[in-house]
Amino acid sequence: MADRPPVRDWATDFDHTDPTWVADPYPIWDELRQACPVAHSDRYGGAWLPTRHADVAAIAYDTDDFTSRSVVVTEYRPPNLAPRGIAPPITSDPPFHQGARRMLLPLMSPQVIAKWEPSTREYCQSLVHELAGREVVDAATEYAQHIPVRVIARMLGFPEDDADRFRGFVHHVLEDVTLPLELRLPGMQELFEYLRDQVKDHIDNPRDDLTTALLNADMGGEVADLSHVGGTIALLLLAGIDTTWSAIGASIWHLASHPEDRDRLVKEPDLLPTAVEEFLRAYAPVTMARLVKHDMDWHGCPMKEDDWILLSFPAANRDPEFFVDPDEVIIDRTDNRHAAFGLGIHRCAGSHLARMELRVALEVFLDAFPVFHLDDPAAVKWSAGQVRGPRTLPVHIG
Ligand code: HEM
């Protein structure tokens, strides 16, 4: 990651890649919510950061004033590929967005996802089997990381041995965001070529998998063109891997540092689905971006065309005006309308898959290691960028 000057003032100079934010963003958002709920920064060519749930929701629902043309904040502005954007439906605006989303939703329904649960469980069990007998393991890189990669590779019908390459693509697109464009392009090109080859192979040899289903899916009465399908597949790889890895890792981190919650889940496994929602709320991994469509005064903020909005669903989830005791993790919290999967028309299309992976990953880990704790809290490292989760997580399981 390129060197960046330290943040001078969070209200006027914020940077989500600053080491202080990366280590612990919650106090920053708390302070901003009280002092300056929509912060501004000249970095990245101009960016705004709403920290209250009401403001995050208002922007997420407002597709007239904000575009999803790019959802990752970088130093440059992406080309205008409207109405589709590079990775439909996440980069598409209405009205195109609706068809692109409808083409995907039936392929990610609860019924479809339920079919993947047994093989996901089996895979998680094989991972804990490998770890058993060791004293300290890295639960981020030796456990959480592998699960979503394997599941999505199987669903798409891609070679499972390419897992390391997928992780490389994801890291490049979502974490190397401060690199200049000329250093970001070759990685994007590699992803594009990889997907082109996979899609071609599926056209030549159709089979019963998600890639073939997308190639044949109905997009407003016809099949989508190849670059649309390629963009959606890229999105599924990028949207499904770091996000779920982060959610599994953050949940294990919580349980490794809160033995009372860990013990309770071991004794009351039926509570797991409720606890999963609370982990998603409290440690929501995904922050999205929007671009301002035109100059305007937005509730007193002088927004300019092409300013970024860093749309922090994680900050919304910690707003005391929306949640009681938001900084407390209450694993049996029942009233939990969290925004971890987003709000509005772009709400996560993979939420059933993500929830299944998260629940199964935790169930299997708790079953194999009912007593575990952080080996060295200071050694835990969190990712920088818009997807937050532990990337080094040494846990004592022995
Ligand atoms: C815990 C894991 C996950 C979290 C927290 C998460 C979060 C999100 C969020 C916040 C959005 C909204 C984007 C926006 O408003 O711009 C989103 C959209 C999306 N997610 Fe997820 N996601 C997760 C896992 C997945 C998985 C596993 C997949 C599929 C493999 C997936 C596929 C998508 C897609 C396709 C969209 C775009 C939907 C649209 O634009 O209509 N996500 N996700």
Token representation of residue 119? 């093989």
Choose the weakest-confidence range: 108-112, 152-156, 163-167, 198-202.
163-167
26-30, 86-90, 247-251: least confident range: 86-90
* Burial of 368: CB neighbours in 10 Å, binned 0-12, 13-18, 19+: middle
> What pLDDT digit, counting tens, does each position of 93-135 carry?
999 999 999 999 999 999 999 999 999 999 999 999 999 999 9
pLDDT grade, residue 177 (50/70/90)?
low
CB neighbourhood size of 75 (10 A): 14
Whole-number Å distance, alpha carbon 262 to ligand 1 midpoint, is 27
Q: Is the CB of 342 under 6 A from ligand 1?
A: yes
User: Residue 150: CB within 6 Å of ligand 1?
Assistant: no
Residue 175 has pLDDT above 70, yes or no: no
Q: Is the CB of 349 under 6 A from ligand 1?
A: yes
Structure tokens at 92: 């598409």
Q: Best substitution site from 84, 341, 360, 383 to test ligand 1's pocket, by max atoms within 8 Å of Cβ?
A: 341
Look at residue 373 and tell me whether its pLDDT is greater than 60: yes
Residue 1: per-residue pLDDT: 46
Residue 61 pLDDT exceeds 90: yes
Establish whether residue 243 lines the binding site of ligand 1, counting it when its CB lies within 6 angstroms of any ligand atom.
Answer: yes
Collapsed DSSP state (helix, strand, coil) of residue 367: helix
385 in ligand 1 pocket by Cβ < 6 Å?
no
350 lines ligand 1 (CB under 6 A): yes
Q: What is the DSSP letter of 328?
A: S
The pLDDT tens digits of the residues spanning 187-221 come to: 778 888 888 899 999 999 999 999 999 999 988 88
Give the H or E element holding residue 33. helix 26-35
Does residue 147 carry a pLDDT above 70? yes
Residue 19 pLDDT exceeds 80? yes
User: Which residue's CA lies nearest to atom 27 of ligand 1?
Assistant: 240
For the chain, first and last CA: distance in Å?
A: 35
Each residue's pLDDT tens digit, 274-298: 999 999 999 999 999 999 999 999 9
Closest CA to 213 of 85, 104, 110, 120: 104
Give the mean model confidence (pLDDT) for residues 61-66.
98
Q: Token pair for residue 379?
A: 């050694």
**Pocket mutation for ligand 1, best pick of 98, 170, 211, 243 (most atoms within 8 Å of C-beta):** 243
Provide the pLDDT for residue 2.
Answer: 52
Per-residue pLDDT, averaged over 40-65, amounts to 98
What pLDDT score was predicted for residue 174? 63
Whole-number Å distance, alpha carbon 219 to ligand 1 midpoint, is: 20
CB of residue 14 inside a 6 A radius of ligand 1: no
Alpha carbon nearest to ligand 1 atom 31, residue: 350
Is residue 285 within 6 Å of ligand 1 at its C-beta?
yes
Q: Choose among 246, 268, 64, 75: nearest CA to 170.
A: 246
Return the ligand 1 atom nearest residue 232 CA.
Answer: 35
CB of 291 shorter than 6 A to ligand 1: no
Instruction: Return contacts of 38-44, CB within 8 angstroms, 24+ apart.
Output: 38/298, 38/299, 38/301, 39/10, 39/11, 39/12, 39/14, 40/11, 40/12, 40/14, 40/301, 41/12, 41/13, 41/14, 41/15, 42/13, 43/4, 43/13, 43/14, 43/15, 44/73, 44/74, 44/75, 44/308
Flag the least confident range among 74-78, 154-158, 167-171, 301-305: 167-171
Q: How many CA atoms lie within 13 A of 37 on its CB side?
A: 15
Q: Are strands 296-298 and 288-292 parallel, antiparallel or unpaired?
A: unpaired
Ligand 1 pocket check for 101: Cβ under 6 Å: yes
DSSP category for residue 225: P
For the CA of 357, the nearest atom of ligand 1: 27
Q: What is the pLDDT, as a whole number, of residue 160? A: 85
Report residue 376 as tokens: 């060295």
Residue where the block lists tokens 């629902």: 61
Q: How far is the CA of 86 from the centre of ligand 1 (A)?
A: 15
Distance 230 CA to ligand 1 centre (A): 17
CA of 341 from ligand 1 middle (Å) equals 6
Q: How many angstroms is it from 351 CA to the middle of ligand 1? A: 7
User: What domains lie within the chain, and their CATH numbers?
Assistant: 10-397 (1.10.630.10)
Q: What is the pTM of this model?
A: 0.95
Confidence bin at 165 (pLDDT 50/70/90): confident
Alpha carbon nearest to ligand 1 atom 40, residue: 90
Question: Position of tokens 């709000």?
Answer: 343
* Ligand 1 pocket residue status of 240, Cβ below 6 Å: yes
Query: What SS3 class is residue 298?
Result: strand
pLDDT band, very low/low/confident/very high, at 83 (cuts 50, 70, 90): confident
Radius of gyration of the chain (CA): 21
Q: Does the Cβ of 90 fall within 6 Å of ligand 1?
A: yes
pLDDT at 176: 66
Task: Specify the pLDDT at position 235.
Answer: 92
The pLDDT mean for the chain works out to: 94
Q: Cα separation of 117 and 259, whole Å?
A: 27
